[in-house]
C-alpha cells in the first residue's frame, strides 16, 4: 500500500450523514443542515443543451483540456464578469473544481513545499496537498477577526519553503467574503514572497448584500501572473453531478496540467460540456433567483442562531454555510453533533475536519421549513444541555 494514500483521513462528516440517513430510513424525522450542494434542480435550458448534444451524437472524447467552444465561453465570461483577460489556451476544464484543484497541487508542488491554508478551511485542501507531496501550514483566523487572515498572520507563517497560498472567498465552511482592501494586503504579501495564489472562487456568484469582492487575479499584472483562478459550475448553476470545473492561469502550469489530465481522465465528459456552454451563455437570471433564496434563508438562520444563548456566529456574506461556535457548552464538535442528532434529529456537520472543533457547520441549502423546525429543535436541545 502507498503510505501517503493509506494515511488519508477518512471523512468524519460521512459518519454523521450516514447516521442521519439510517435514522431517516428507520422512519425518524430528520432535519438536515449537512448539504454541501444547492437544493435546486439544474435549470432547464442547461439540461436541454446536454440532451440535444447527446441527440447530436456528441458522445466521443473531448479535447483533453475541454471543448474549444466551452473554453472560449469561459474566457468571455471571465472577461465580462470578473475583469479578467485570459486566452482560451490558458484554460483547462476538468471533472469538477475539486479535480481542478487536485491537478493544480499535483503540478505545482515539489516534495516538502509548503502551502498556506487559512483555517478554518475546506476539508479537502490539506488532503490534496498531502497527496501531492506538499506540507500544509495552517494560518489561524479567529472568530474575532471574522475568520479572515491578515497580512500579519500570513507573514508569521511564511518560510523559504512556502510555495502557495489557498484563498477561498466566499468560503466553505464560513461564508467569509474578503473585501478589496483585504485582498490588496494579501496580494502584496504574495508578490513580496513570490508565492502562487490558488484562488478558489467557486462561490463567487453567491455574495450577499451587494458586497464587492473582485477576482483575486484582477488586482494587477503582478498578481495575475502568480494566480490560478479556480471556478466551476456546481454551485452557481446547481450542477454538482455534472462534474465540471475549470482553471485559468499561467501557461507553464496550464501545460503541465494538460499533460497530467491527458493521462488520467483524458478530459471532461463531452455532452456535459454543452450544458456548461448553455449555462454561461444563458444569462444569470437563474443564478440570481437561487442567490435570492439563499440570502433570505441566511438572514433567518443567522437571526435564529444569534438569539440562542452562548452560541456565537459570524454573519456569512457569501456561499451557503455558517459556522456557529458552540464551545461554551463544553462539548467537542463531534460529540455535540452526535448528541444533537440523537436527541432531535437535527443533522449538522462537526467543525473538527474544517479545523474548528468548537464550531459546527450549518448549510442553508435546504428549505425554509427545514430551517425553522430544525432551529426550534436545536434551541430546545441547548436548553437541556
Ligand X SMILES: *Cc1c(COP(=O)(O)O)cnc(C)c1O
Q: Which is nearer to ligand X, 204 or 344 (CB)?
A: 204
Q: Which of 176, 234, 273, 344 binds ligand X (CB under 6 A)?
A: 234
> How many CB atoms lie under 10 A from the CB of residue 220?
12
Task: Decide: helix, strand or coil at residue 229.
Answer: strand
Tell me the three cell numbers of residue 352: 473538527
CB of 36 to ligand X, least distance (A): 6
Q: Which is nearer to ligand X, 103 or 234 (CB)?
A: 234
Binding window for ligand X (CB under 6 A); candidates: 2-10, 92-100, 102-110, 309-317: 92-100
Contact call for residue 46 and ligand X (CB under 6 A)? no
Q: Cα torsion at 95, 72, 227, 38 (round to 10°)?
A: -50
Number of residues counted as binding ligand X (CB under 6 A): 13
Contact call for residue 378 and ligand X (CB under 6 A)? no
Q: Which is nearer to ligand X, 236 or 254 (CB)?
A: 236
With residue 306 as reference, give the H or E element that holds it: helix 285-306
Cα distance between residue 178 and residue 186, in whole Å: 10
> How many CB atoms lie under 10 A from the CB of residue 136?
18
DSSP 7: T
Using CA atoms, how far residue 356 sits from 97, 117, 128, 334, in Å, is 24, 13, 19, 11
CB of 226 to ligand X, least distance (A): 20
Judged on CB neighbours under 10 Å (0-12, 13-18, 19+), 178 is: buried
Task: Decide: helix, strand or coil at residue 213.
Answer: coil
Interface of this chain with ligand X, residues 114 to 143, rule: CB under 6 A: 122
CB of 11 to ligand X, least distance (A): 14
Binding window for ligand X (CB under 6 A); candidates: 61-69, 211-219, 231-239, 323-331: 231-239
Cα distance between residue 88 and residue 71, in whole Å: 5
Q: Which of 43, 66, 232, 351 binds ligand X (CB under 6 A)?
A: 232
Q: Which of 34, 35, 97, 326 binds ligand X (CB under 6 A)?
A: 97
Q: Which of 114, 127, 200, 357 binds ligand X (CB under 6 A)?
A: 200
Contact call for residue 168 and ligand X (CB under 6 A)? yes
Q: Which is nearer to ligand X, 118 or 245 (CB)?
A: 245
Q: Which is nearer to ligand X, 16 or 375 (CB)?
A: 16
Nearest residue to 116 via CA among 183, 65, 189: 189
Interface residue list for ligand X (CB under 6 A): 96-98, 122, 168, 172, 200, 202, 232, 234-235, 240, 245
Amino acid at each position: 500500500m502507498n503510505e501517503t494514500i493509506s494515511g488519508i483521513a477518512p471523512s468524519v462528516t460521512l459518519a454523521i450523514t450516514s447516521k442521519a440517513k439510517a435514522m431517516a430510513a428507520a422512519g425518524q424525522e430528520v432535519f438536515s443542515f449537512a448539504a454541501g450542494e444547492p437544493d435546486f434542480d439544474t435549470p432547464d435550458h442547461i439540461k436541454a443543451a446536454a440532451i440535444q448534444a447527446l441527440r447530436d451524437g456528441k458522445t466521443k472524447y473531448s479535447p483533453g483540456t475541454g471543448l474549444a467552444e466551452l473554453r472560449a465561453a469561459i474566457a468571455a465570461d471571465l472577461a465580462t464578469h470578473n475583469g479578467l483577460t485570459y486566452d482560451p489556451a490558458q484554460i483547462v476544464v476538468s471533472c469538477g473544481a475539486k479535480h481542478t484543484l487536485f491537478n493544480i497541487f499535483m503540478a505545482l508542488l515539489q516534495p516538502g513545499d509548503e502551502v498556506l491554508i487559512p483555517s478554518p478551511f475546506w476539508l479537502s485542501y490539506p488532503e490534496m496537498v498531502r497527496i501531492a507531496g506538499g506540507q500544509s501550514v495552517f494560518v489561524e483566523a479567529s472568530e474575532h477577526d471574522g475568520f479572515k487572515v491578515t497580512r500579519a498572520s500570513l507573514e508569521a507563517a511564511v518560510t523559504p519553503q512556502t510555495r502557495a497560498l489557498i484563498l477561498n472567498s466566499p468560503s466553505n465552511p464560513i461564508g467569509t467574503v474578503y473585501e478589496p482592501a483585504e485582498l490588496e494586503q494579501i496580494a502584496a504579501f504574495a508578490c513580496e514572497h513570490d508565492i502562487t495564489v490558488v484562488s478558489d472562487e467557486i462561490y463567487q456568484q453567491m455574495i450577499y448584500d451587494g458586497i464587492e469582492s473582485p477576482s483575486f487575479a484582477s488586482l494587477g499584472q503582478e498578481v495575475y501572473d502568480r494566480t490560478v483562478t479556480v471556478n466551476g459550475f456546481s454551485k452557481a448553476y446547481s450542477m454538482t453531478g455534472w462534474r465540471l470545473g475549470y482553471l485559468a492561469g499561467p501557461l507553464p502550469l496550464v501545460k503541465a496540467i494538460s499533460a497530467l489530465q491527458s493521462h488520467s481522465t483524458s478530459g471532461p465528459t463531452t455532452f456535459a460540456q454543452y450544458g456548461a456552454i448553455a449555462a454561461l451563455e444563458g444569462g444569470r437570471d437563474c443564478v440570481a433567483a437561487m442567490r435570492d433564496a439563499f440570502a433570505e434563508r441566511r438572514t433567518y438562520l443567522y437571526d435564529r442562531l444569534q438569539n440562542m444563548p452562548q452560541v456565537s456566529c459570524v454573519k456569512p456574506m457569501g456561499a451557503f454555510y455558517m459556522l456557529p461556535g458552540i464551545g461554551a457548552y463544553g462539548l467537542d464538535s463531534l460529540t455535540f453533533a452526535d448528541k444533537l442528532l440523537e436527541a432531535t434529529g437535527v443533522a449538522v456537520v462537526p467543525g473538527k475536519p474544517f479545523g474548528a472543533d468548537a464550531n459546527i457547520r450549518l448549510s442553508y441549502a435546504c428549505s425554509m421549513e427545514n430551517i425553522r423546525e430544525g432551529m426550534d429543535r436545536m434551541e430546545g436541545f441547548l436548553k437541556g444541555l
